[in-house]
Structure 1
């Protein structure tokens, strides 16, 4: 093998690895997948009756950190009342960043 062939193979492998890394780092959950994460996380503490989510993600800064997030809401019932909750979920990991009850 010539040195030129080895160098070309090395460069092609390096470029391919870089592109794969970019593809995996920019992976985001769909809004439906993010909603399923929220419902799963809230299932133990709320009796969920309904849920909705915005289809497009938004940029958000919280505590000095930047996130791509989805926003949405849940309705939950107890014995007498229906309660409405708003949530913010990380679009990359599905981690619930905020869950607050509406008055």
Structure 2
């Protein structure tokens, strides 16, 4: 066996291993628990929260022609005796919050009319 073949084999193996590592690390999601903790931390900057939840499975989501895999969840807070709930949508790959909106309970809206 000559040294050129050996060195070429080692180099190709190292480059291949690095490429596989990068592909695997780019495809992994942030855990839903981590995303929920990040969202709670951001909400706590504006006051205490009284509850939170998150769906444990990422799901497809499209906004402005961009496709994501997201976690959906919610945060509750009490402000001046009034309970307010918010829904959030966070990117499953990065944990970045894509959208926050007040929670609208459609069941309660239909029955209060």
- How do 1:38-57 and structure 2 match up within 5 A? 38-57=39-58
CA RMSD of aligned residues (A): 1.4
Rg larger in 1 or in 2?
2
Q: How does 1:3-42 map to 2 (within 5 A)?
A: 3-42=4-43
Which residues of structure 1 form unaligned runs of 5+?
Answer: none
Q: Would you tell me which structure has more helix in proportion to its own residues?
A: 2
Q: Secondary structure at the match of 1:35?
A: helix
* Cα separation, 2, equivalents of 1:46 and 1:88: 20
TM-score (norm 1): 0.90
Look up the SS of the partner of 2:46 in the other structure. coil
Q: Report how many residues are paired.
A: 103
Q: Which has the higher contact order (CA 8 A, sep 6+)?
A: 1
Aligned structure 1 segments of 4 or more residues deviating by more than 2 angstroms: none
Structure 2: 5+ residue stretches without partners: 105-113
For residues 82 and 31 of structure 2, the distance between their equivalents in structure 1, rounded to whole angstroms, comes to 31
